[in-house]
Amino acid sequence: MNARTLKLLLFALGALISGPALAFEPLPDQPPIPKDNPQTTAKIELGKKLYLDPRLSVDGTVSCNSCHNVMAGGDDDRATSAGVNGQRGGRNAPTVWNAAFLSVQFWDGRANSLEEQAKGPLINPVEMGNPDHDTVIKRLKQYPEYVAAFNDVFGKDGLNIDNLAKAIASFERMLITPGAPFDRYAKGEKKAIAKKARQGAELFQKIGCITCHSGPAFAGPPLPEGTGFFQRFPTFADNEFVKKYELDQDLGRYEATKNEADKHMFRVPTLRNVAMTAPYFHNGKVRTLDEAVRVMAKTQLNRDLSDDAVEKLVAFLETLTGPFPELTLPRLPEKSGTTTISAH
């Protein structure tokens, strides 16, 4: 274990022990940037085009943005997303906003980085439906503008699957929302949030929500990329919420690892902009934020909350909605006189 990892693990332990002060970390103005994928303006712009281009799917109908809409909360407002041929996925689409602050991606943490995550949906038969990555690259190579853009950003013969993933990940690292009312409060602007929200923040710590939702992203401590911060869900399964919303049907991380210890373990999701990302939980069964608060209290802390407590917690969670940066839609490359999409 290197010194940095030890330091961050001690930080995580501190979050569990000392709680309150650590909850008041504002979201940084910049996310972690990997050394092997530095940000450049041209790379980010290329990544934005790829992110928004449905022609990365086998039938030209599904883009990254279809399920993770950057013009909204970074998700798609559905319980589970629709992929090619109208197929439905098995889990709720996590928000892409502030995903750059998470050390692993997907509900089960099976991707160690944004770059790795970007490759997965392309060849998922339910999502974008391509038989392999080569199919995606062959299609993009038919667009001279894409070929030129990849060569400009990555050098000669730059259009390959690894560079495609790097470009998309670079764009996604721009999708952060620092400056939420709670951030301003954490920096000392005591009137940035209302009294009820302040009471909610205190309650959030007092009853133990901070145990899992710590750190600046409220998704656990900022661990090194690939480490992951996981918790069992549901922890307390003998209650009506679990039955009503079928919360124990998904085996979580076990589906990726086949390790018995990973059954019902999930990556702790960010609470940033949580008021904008209904419906809630891995299966999207819970439609409202106040109900999600009640569910979490019962399934994770074995607590029944009063209506007043729920109102205060919701008021606090609403202060985690940050200002969304302005995004402009790009013109996508075209192939004159023909189409690259096969008839389906």
Task: Mark whether 46 and 24 lie in a shared domain.
Answer: no
25 belongs to the catalytic site:
no
Task: Mark whether 181 and 270 lie in a shared domain.
Answer: yes
In a domain, 325, yes or no: no
Over the range 163-177, which residues count as b (16 or more CB within 10 Å of their CB) and which as e? bbbbbbbbbbbbbbb
Mean pLDDT of 231-238: 98
Task: Mark whether 274 and 234 lie in a shared domain.
Answer: yes
In a domain, 196, yes or no: yes
Task: Mark whether 187 and 293 lie in a shared domain.
Answer: yes
Mean pLDDT of 335-342: 88
Rounded Cα–Cα distance for residues 173 and 157 (Å):
25
In a domain, 294, yes or no: yes
Task: Mark whether 23 and 47 lie in a shared domain.
Answer: no
Query: Residue 202 sits in which domain range?
Result: 3-29+177-318
Per residue in 39-85, pLDDT tens?
999 999 999 999 999 999 999 999 999 999 999 999 999 999 999 99
**pLDDT(21) > 70:** no
Task: Mark whether 248 and 226 lie in a shared domain.
Answer: yes
Of 137, 172, 207, the last residue of a domain is 172
Task: Mark whether 160 and 214 lie in a shared domain.
Answer: no
Task: Mark whether 64 and 112 lie in a shared domain.
Answer: yes
In a domain, 256, yes or no: yes
CATH code of the domain containing 112: 1.10.760.10
The pLDDT of residue 344 is: 57
The pLDDT of residue 15 is: 44
Per residue in 99-122, pLDDT tens?
999 999 999 999 999 999 999 999
In a domain, 34, yes or no: no
Rounded Cα–Cα distance for residues 228 and 221 (Å):
10
Of 141, 172, 203, the last residue of a domain is 172
Per residue in 120-153, pLDDT tens?
999 999 999 999 999 999 999 999 999 999 999 9
Average pLDDT, the chain: 93
In a domain, 328, yes or no: no
Q: What percent of the chain has pLDDT over 70?
A: 93
In a domain, 344, yes or no: no
Rounded Cα–Cα distance for residues 77 and 97 (Å):
14
Task: Mark whether 159 and 221 lie in a shared domain.
Answer: no
Task: Mark whether 48 and 167 lie in a shared domain.
Answer: yes
Nearest to 43 by CA among 226, 225, 174, 176: 174
Tokens linked to 340: 């690259």
In a domain, 58, yes or no: yes
Task: Mark whether 161 and 290 lie in a shared domain.
Answer: no
How many domains does the chain fold into?
2
The pLDDT of residue 342 is: 80
Of 148, 172, 196, the last residue of a domain is 172
The pLDDT of residue 75 is: 98
Nearest to 63 by CA among 337, 344, 330: 330
- Looking at residue 161, its amino acid is I
From 25, 115, 127, 318, the catalytic residue: 127
Task: Mark whether 54 and 9 lie in a shared domain.
Answer: no
